[in-house]
Amino acid sequence: MDTIHHIAIQVSDLPSTLAWYKNQYDVKVVYEDETWALIQFANVALALVLPDQHPPHFAIVSEHAERFGPLKTHRDGTASVYINDPAGNCIEILKLPD
């Protein structure tokens, strides 16, 4: 069964927004670079992304991600392709590293 991996929201100031989430909630920073950060809550992850680097979206982990199009490998070791649902919502179809 496919799973929702994360929800991505755009932020204008990544360092201060990340600091705010870390100070307000019991979360773990899973990944961070100059364009985005991934924080893990108990039940789902939240990606904080810069507007000029990443679209707002939600990500679904799928064993068959390749069927949605060519996958791009990212610095964090994941690979994905972005698609839109019929309503125009952006979805990242994600394949996790083995």
Report the candidate in 53, 13, 14 with the shortest Cα–Cα distance to residue 31: 14
Q: What is the pLDDT averaged over residues 52-75?
A: 95
Is a pLDDT exceeding 90 seen at residue 98?
no
User: Would you place residue 92 in the very low, low, confident or very high pLDDT band (cuts 50, 70, 90)?
Assistant: very high
Q: What is the pLDDT averaged over residues 41-60?
A: 95
> Facing residues of 31 across strands?
38
Q: What is the pLDDT averaged over residues 29-38?
A: 95
The topology under which CATH files domain 3-95 is 2,3-Dihydroxybiphenyl 1,2-Dioxygenase; domain 1 (3.10.180)
